[in-house]
Structure 1
């Protein structure tokens, strides 16, 4: 299918495509592309970056696209199957039974990016669950990558690996028998409250694509997350440079706290920071004071700090212009 105008504006186009997973099932994903209205003189970036969103999320951060463009990279994002632009009528939003089911659509997206003019290996960027997915794809496709950028990646459960192991034992049998069973877990909209312009944030979100309470948590999905985290815990031995961006603190309570305006209100950043060093041989961890779960959705001064740290890392390890 051809590129078509995207709802983000005239500088963005998108194209849905189909990719078959390891189980033979064809799933719909959507590739989004950014092209500036007034390209810089002589602009012809061969380096490219592909962004993977988090769970119950989609790509909407146009500032992120413009940053990567200014750094010399052609920017692309992927709305993975059962998310965002790729949601299909009757499909369970956010659901996946095995994180490896994302591999074919990521690989197909990379084929489309190369056909669009990119050359050399890809820089992959992932946020939250997308960071976990990106890490696992990188471990299975090391020759395709030049670098990995992770924005609050969900590499470990709250607390420690013991929590993950206990959760696996509880959810595993149900996931095998009835994987799409909805788990009745407490719902919190605290993070959405800090980012959505419909609440107290500054970002215009489509609630159909990014629900305030997220999509229902299903047994098969949670089992897939736990299995992916267990794989990360064994060490991925990545050879490419890895950047991990995190908030300095977490606030994960069941009632609203003002701390949630300046911390990660979704994940345990201390558990993730500890796990990050097992990703590979060259790992940089940046802890950003006052950052939200998505550090690039934080208040303006904080996200400027996050972009400055990413730019510094790219000057050391990036491939644009090489």
Structure 2
């Protein structure tokens, strides 16, 4: 598998790998893993080699564990955040990102963008990515290298990652959620009513497109072509949302219902969110300094149901993706992530037991 890695369009040492996931009614299905790993440490000096040889003669030396982060994007999205990759690399963490099936690098002609009828289908994407990144690291660090993986995910990806972590205890070190979509905007009453109305349509015509407003407010807040700072590929991240199909939204609502009942994720969780929301059909200048997609108060309430150890950090003037906010905000966010990671992720096993 390692031989199939190729340079990614992000450049600067980024590579990508296509993960074959079989076929569905629309044809071949793939996911895409993007890698950006720190350079291995320099070879030891002659004296260092001698000491290492003597140490190995007396006792076997276990391989040094490698910390890795696997990032999962949100709806109508793909991985492009090189700044995030550089941040983790600066902490000595191997960074990988996953474009899920029918998103971004993984979308194939003739496929329904982002379409799925059960969020659990993404288990195959995550499992393939974790296997590939582990093999990728061990091909460089040694076949016996322990690899400790943490998940980081945004918006809809945060819902997918949370449900996966709940179903797969003991597989990851930590879960970092960037404005996760954990509940339908409004309340559980709205969700329940919506799910009841959608169920017949989702069952009989799952690819039926729902008539919803095509909003570009969030895109405007992040794109350099609008009021944001980021260069977005219009083919991979269009200004308005992809078509909302009955089967897909039904799958999301089912995921929200599972969260509302409470999950049992037994690893440290960091939830990052804006301090305020500005959700409206028409553009509002406040959307440049708030979450214009989700209700952050409801998000935090649901976030506390994910597991017993949840840290919530909210940031003034933050966008829906807190790491696409203005630079002063991003600096605060990255500072908080580093502080939290050094306490919960980047510890040695003995330190963890203490």
Q: Considering the TM-score relative to the shorter chain, is it more than 0.5?
A: yes
Q: Is the 8 A contact 1:72 1:320 kept in 2?
A: no
Q: Which of 65, 88, 93 pairs up with 1:68?
A: 88
SS in 1 for 2:173: strand
Distance 1:122 1:280 in 2: 18
Distance 1:255 1:42 in 2: 58
Report the counterpart of residue 242 of structure 2 in structure 1: 215
1:169 offset after TM fit, Å?
Answer: 0.9
Deviation readout 1:264-306 (Å, 9 max, x if unpaired)? 0001101110011110010001011110000000000001111
Distance 1:45 1:267 in 2: 37
SS in 2 for 1:145: coil
Asked if 1:51 is matched to 2:71, the reply is: yes
Gaps in structure 2 of 5+ consecutive residues: 45-63, 139-145, 350-354
Q: More helix by proportion, 1 or 2? A: 2
Q: Is the 8 A contact 2:227 2:288 kept in 1?
A: no
1:117 offset after TM fit, Å?
Answer: 2.1
Q: Is the 8 A contact 1:45 1:74 kept in 2?
A: no
Distance 2:118 2:148 in 1: 26
1:21 offset after TM fit, Å?
Answer: 8.8
How high is the TM-score relative to the length of structure 2?
0.86
Q: Is the 8 A contact 2:69 2:93 kept in 1?
A: yes
Q: Is the 8 A contact 1:121 1:143 kept in 2?
A: no
Q: Is the 8 A contact 1:152 1:294 kept in 2?
A: yes
Report the counterpart of residue 4 of structure 1 in structure 2: 6
How high is the TM-score relative to the length of structure 1?
0.95
1:39 offset after TM fit, Å?
Answer: 6.0
Relative to 1, partners in 2 of residues 1:73 and 1:147: Cα closer, same or farther, differing over 3 Å?
same
1:256 offset after TM fit, Å?
Answer: 1.0
SS in 2 for 1:291: coil
Relative to 1, partners in 2 of residues 1:42 and 1:313: Cα closer, same or farther, differing over 3 Å?
farther
Report the counterpart of residue 174 of structure 1 in structure 2: 201
Asked if 1:108 is matched to 2:128, the reply is: yes
Q: Is the 8 A contact 2:66 2:148 kept in 1?
A: no
Q: Which of 261, 265, 269 pairs up with 1:234?
A: 261
Asked if 1:93 is matched to 2:113, the reply is: yes
Q: Is the 8 A contact 1:45 1:72 kept in 2?
A: no
Aligned runs of 1:223-302 on 2, under 5 Å? 223-302=250-329
Relative to 1, partners in 2 of residues 1:320 and 1:53: Cα closer, same or farther, differing over 3 Å?
farther
Q: Is the 8 A contact 2:275 2:314 kept in 1?
A: yes
Q: Is the 8 A contact 1:84 1:209 kept in 2?
A: yes
1:122 offset after TM fit, Å?
Answer: 1.3
Gaps in structure 1 of 5+ consecutive residues: none
Q: Which of 33, 36, 42 pairs up with 1:34?
A: 36
Q: Is the 8 A contact 1:71 1:320 kept in 2?
A: no
Distance 1:272 1:92 in 2: 28
Relative to 1, partners in 2 of residues 1:224 and 1:309: Cα closer, same or farther, differing over 3 Å?
same
Deviation readout 1:220-257 (Å, 9 max, x if unpaired)? 11001000111111111111000000000111111111
Distance 1:177 1:302 in 2: 46
1:10 offset after TM fit, Å?
Answer: 3.2
Q: Is the 8 A contact 1:21 1:104 kept in 2?
A: no
Distance 2:220 2:8 in 1: 26
Distance 1:224 1:239 in 2: 24
Distance 1:33 1:40 in 2: 18
1:71 offset after TM fit, Å?
Answer: 1.6
SS in 1 for 2:174: strand
Aligned runs of 1:199-214 on 2, under 5 Å? 199-214=226-241
Q: Is the 8 A contact 2:269 2:311 kept in 1?
A: yes
Q: Which of 21, 24, 39 pairs up with 1:19?
A: 21
